[in-house]
Amino acid sequence: MNLEGLEMIAVLIVIVLFVKLLEQFGLIEAGLEDSVEDELEMATVRHRPEALELLEAQSKFTKKELQILYRGFKNECPSGVVNEDTFKEIYSQFFPQGDSTTYAHFLFNAFDTDHNGAVSFEDFIRGLSILLRGTVQEKLNWAFNLYDINKDGYITKEEMLDIMKAIYDMMGKCTYPVLKEDAPRQHVETFFQKMDKNKDGVVTIDEFIESCQKDENIMRSMQLFENVI
């Protein structure tokens, strides 16, 4: 995998991971015609999710889709929440040839919007709704928030380097030809040459979105993941 390929991965890998997660839950193959219970089964879980009507209003899923998603979520997470260790364990299954620990940490923090150390069903649904059915603007906003590690409204070279190292570690032996040790830093320089329009050493949300929207490969790939369930 070359440098240009990894540039697209840096934006799209979150969506790919969730397609894989839905496959593990059995949600993509299940179909929406399958019989489901009328209401969520909440008696045995520690965290009780918000009412379906509220989640339906806050997401782009129907009530029946939310029921199916919840059944899969509860099967994997009986307590009703996912802590960071469990989150890392789930993603490690998809990248056995590499180390996904650091990237999963960044991803977990992006989903844990209230920073309480756990991802609830509500957190899961709101993020998944954006990644799978959100507008291009919403998806890119979400991706920017992931890469803005300290949440100050800017992506610095140091933050992007941390992200790129995490992606390289996660891909492991999938990269071909084998990448040089300084490849992540070279990629960061390429990223900033394209996105840091005013050359002030940081990438703003406007610069990030504008650059991504002008990249036909990114836009085309994002469309492939719309309405997968």
How far apart CA 203 and CA 103 sit, in angstroms, is: 20
Q: Is 40 helix (H, G, I), strand (E, B) or coil?
A: coil
How far apart CA 198 and CA 134 sit, in angstroms, is: 29
Position with higher pLDDT, 98 vs 25:
98
Q: Are 195 and 208 a contacting pair, CB within 8 Å?
A: yes
User: pLDDT band for position 9 (50/70/90)?
Assistant: very low
Tell whether the model's pLDDT for residue 178 goes beyond 70.
Answer: no
pTM of the model: 0.75
Which range has the worst mean pLDDT, 120-124, 158-162, 180-184? 180-184
Return the CA Rg of the chain: 18
Domain 3-9+62-224 has CATH 1.10.238.10: yes
How far apart CA 147 and CA 139 sit, in angstroms, is: 13
User: pLDDT band for position 179 (50/70/90)?
Assistant: low
Mean of per-residue pLDDT scores for the chain:
77
Position with higher pLDDT, 46 vs 224:
224
The residues spanned by each domain of the chain are 3-9+62-224
Mean pLDDT of 67-92: 84
Predicted confidence (pLDDT) per residue in 14-58, tens digit: 555 555 555 554 444 444 444 444 344 444 444 555 577 888 898
How far apart CA 98 and CA 81 sit, in angstroms, is: 26
Q: Are 134 and 144 a contacting pair, CB within 8 Å?
A: no
Distant-in-sequence, close-in-space partners of 148: CB < 8 Å, separation ≥ 6:
154, 155, 159
